[in-house]
Amino acid sequence: MRAALIIAGLLASVVQGSAATLDRVRDTGILTVAYRTDAKPYSYRDDNGQPAGYIVDLCREVVAAVRRTVGTEVKVNYVVAPADRRFEIVNQGHADILCDPSTVTLKRREIVDFSLPTFMDGAGVMSRDTKPVEKFEDLKGRRVGVLVGTTTERVLRSGLADLGIDAEVTTVTNHRAGIDLLTADRIDAYFGDRAILASFLQNDNLPGFRVAKHYFSLETYALALPRDDSAFRLLVDQTLARLYRSGKIRALMTKAFGQLPPDELLDSLIQINSLPD
């Protein structure tokens, strides 16, 4: 009997833990969403000071689903997540969901869970037209910047090491700082997510600079969530799958990126993750 009670108690605690986020939102009426200010077009602060971007829009769809599920009005509390602390913010309970271009890795899954994939991108590089960088070998003896604590930094450092290329690497805490270093001629190239670099090139009017056509890595993005909260993760995955099945995901992509060229990898990601209810 005592053993049965212990097992029942453990099972009850598992069930309670699996619904922690939704229960807390139901009790408090608050859902905390973490976003980035410098990762346009994925996650950024717009001219009105409001969170914006493709992945932020995905999270707004999640917020709507949470409101329907808990049956009460839910206030959204937006918090800024620095790139080098974003996963700890979720892991330590300071945010319920991370809405930025987070690459899924096994190491990161030690501290957070991930949703279904949200996009595919990869590492790229911006440089001057007069000193173009298209491959790792072009960085020999050059100065290159990269966002600290990211998979892009790891790709850069491992690529340089594997090829025995000597380059001076400077880390920054946000993309704007890296672009400013590049335009001030304090570095020769800046590494980052290719879509983010393309957005800077387009929106900042940077004549004389280019983004390399070559991807230095291919990475799968997803929403970072609290670990071991299966009820909340299921709700998030259901929301994303419905966006994929309905085709609404295409409208959200066009809003953020403009008309994307045909992309077989992205098409496959959408098709594979159009899971039925």
pLDDT in tens, 210-267: 999 888 999 999 999 999 999 999 999 999 999 999 999 999 999 998 877 677 888 9
Q: Which residues contact 122 (CB under 8 A, 6 or more apart)?
A: 193, 194, 215, 216, 217, 218, 219
d(CA 161, CA 9): 52
pTM value > 0.75: yes
pLDDT at 9 > cutoff 50: no
Residue 193 tokens read as: 């997510």
Beta carbons of 4 and 49 less than 8 angstroms apart: no
H or E segment to which residue 93 belongs? none
Query: Is the confidence at residue 166, as pLDDT, over 80?
Result: yes
pLDDT grade, residue 15 (50/70/90)?
Answer: very low
- Write the pLDDT tens digit of every residue in 85-130: 999 999 999 999 999 999 999 999 999 999 999 999 889 999 999 9
User: Is pLDDT above 70 for 57?
Assistant: yes
Instruction: Indicate the average pLDDT of the chain.
Output: 91
Dig out the tokens for 236 from the structure. 């998030």
Q: Which CATH superfamily groups domain 123-211?
A: Periplasmic binding protein-like II (3.40.190.10)
| Complete edge-to-edge strand list for the sheet that includes strand 209-211 | 168-172, 143-147, 189-193, 123-128, 209-211
Beta bridge partners of 52: 44
Query: Nearest Cα to 27, choosing from 71, 65, 79, 64?
Result: 71
Provide the residue ranges of all domains of the chain, joining segments of one domain with +: 17-121+221-272, 123-211
Fold agreement between 17-121+221-272 and 123-211: yes
In this prediction, residue 8 carries a pLDDT of 41
Topology at the third CATH level for domain 17-121+221-272: D-Maltodextrin-Binding Protein; domain 2 (3.40.190)
